Amino acid sequence: MTILQRAASLLVLMTALSFGGYAAAADDYPSRTVKIIVPFGAGGPTDVYTRAIAEELRKSLHQTFIMENRPGAGTTIGTDLVAKATPDGYTLLMISGTQTVNETLYGKKPYQLMRDLIPIAPLIDTDLVLVVPASLPVKTVPELLALARAKPGTLNYGSSGPGSNYHMAGELLKNLTGIDIVHVPYKGSTGARNDILSGQIQMLFDSVPTMAPLIKGGMVRALATSGKTRSTILPDVPTLDEAGVKGFQASLWVGFMAPAGTPQPIVDLLNREITKILARPDIKASWGEQGAIPITMTQPEFKAFMEAEIAKWANIIKANNIPPIN
């Protein structure tokens, strides 16, 4: 056997062993506890539904899936932790729209999302709702826009921080309508919610499940929701597109990623199991009643979706001249 023939045989053998090892990893996975890093504080809507899917994965895969909240620096701390983790399927990341915004907003973060991590599957998509204090003398989106144009630079909108879903929804509204409103970032959502109730800020985008009880209790006034269709739990509230802001679409979505290099059979297994769970009628019904819509995609579809989100928010950040962080 010639040197070239030996080299070719060795390459074939190594490839077979590699694929055999991956198959074995998928067959044995998970054989121990799987950790899901959540780069937000506990208790928010993203945290709640991630915990719910972790419990369902425990039942279907017969292994514990635990949550570890690692908030800070606009999700970059927790995301970087997973980007540097061993790519064996035992450390996963809860991903949201915030991380796709951060690809442009954070200029010096120590990772690149689509290079250092691999998408697995989406989980939920939740509409946002634009609310104003009950004391603000506007009842519709056109009235709010008219007030903003009459008093440029005087209406404040709150968010849970730069790059958050709530911040970028406000920036999208500015971009599509040309109004001049002021962003007031908070360290988390609680302060913004308290200040919209007291009238300290005049506008707030927040998740429908969180705001619905306050809206129904008359504590804030809902002007519009942010999705393509009306919310099932706020059916009387128009979408922003219906209210005249054509092309407006923003939502709070959640999914999972893993470190780049995680064996594809493990990624495929997780995508398959999550998809099966989200397709169950009981999950659709119970989550839908709370305003959270389970979404399912193949792994390549989710990757394409995330790439489109990165491009969308990069364009908004550039158009609105939002300065980069660090």
Is 242 within the bounds of a domain?
Answer: no
Residue 65 domain-assigned (yes or no) = yes
Check whether residue 260 and residue 117 sit in a common domain. Answer: yes
- Is 6 within a domain? no
SS3 of residue 137 by DSSP: coil
**Separation between Cα atoms, residue 86 and residue 91, nearest integer Å:** 7
Specify the pLDDT at position 2: 55
Which pLDDT score, from 0 to 100, does residue 12 have?
A: 44
Examine the domain organization and report whether 137 and 179 are in the same domain: yes
Residues 120 and 15 occupy one common structural domain = yes
Residues 261 and 288 in one domain: yes
For residue 57, is it within any domain? yes
pLDDT computed for residue 47 by the predictor: 78
Is 272 inside a domain boundary?
yes
pLDDT at residue 117, rounded to an integer: 98
Burial level of 42, CB count in 10 A (0-12/13-18/19+)? exposed
Listed residues 225, 244, 274: the one ending a domain: 225
Q: CATH no. for residue 91?
A: 3.40.190.150
| Contact present, 103 and 314 (Cβ < 8 Å) | yes
Q: Going from the first residue of the chain to its last (326 residues), give the mean pLDDT of each consecutive group of 10, the final group possibly shorter.
A: 50 47 68 95 77 94 95 93 98 96 93 98 95 96 98 96 93 97 91 95 94 95 95 95 96 96 98 97 89 93 98 96 89
Same domain, 273 and 204: no
Both 58 and 142 in one domain: the answer is no
Question: How much is the pLDDT for 8?
Answer: 47
DSSP secondary structure, 53-85, as one string: HHHHHHHHHTS-EEEEE---GGGHHHHHHHHTS
- Domain membership flag for residue 326: no
24/47 Cα distance (integer angstroms): 32
- The Cα-based distances of 190 to 22, 43, 83, 155, 222 in angstroms read 44, 11, 29, 20, 18
Q: Could you list the residue range(s) of the whole structural domain that residue 169 is in?
A: 127-225
Cβ count within 10 A of residue 82: 24
